[in-house]
Amino acid sequence: MVPLEDVFALPADAAMDLATMKQVIALGHSRVPVYWGPAKSSITRFIHIKDQLMLTPADATPVASLRFHEPQWARPPRDRREIAARSP
């Protein structure tokens, strides 16, 4: 895993202008996390880059107005009963 301080993420109050789009494209990732507030620790959603293909850099579309995707969180079962309940 990448340490949080090394993760590229966009603040929700940023704009998808030419400079931001160049950064995103240079990274080559298909998804970019978005955070609210001053710290990256508040990442709760992400954007798919393919959803942003039709954006015009001159419009400087606010990141907060883009289509977001919620992450799928996984956790291990809590106890044997929960494991048994999931078994076919």
Report mean pLDDT in 10-residue bins for the chain, 88 residues. 88 94 93 90 90 92 92 71 69
In this prediction, residue 81 carries a pLDDT of: 73
Task: Write a three-state SS string for 61-81.
Answer: EEHHHCCCECCCCCCCCCCHH
In this prediction, residue 87 carries a pLDDT of: 66
In this prediction, residue 62 carries a pLDDT of: 95
User: What is the CB neighbour count within 10 angstroms for residue 12?
Assistant: 18
Backbone φ and ψ for 41, nearest 5 degrees, come out as -65, -10
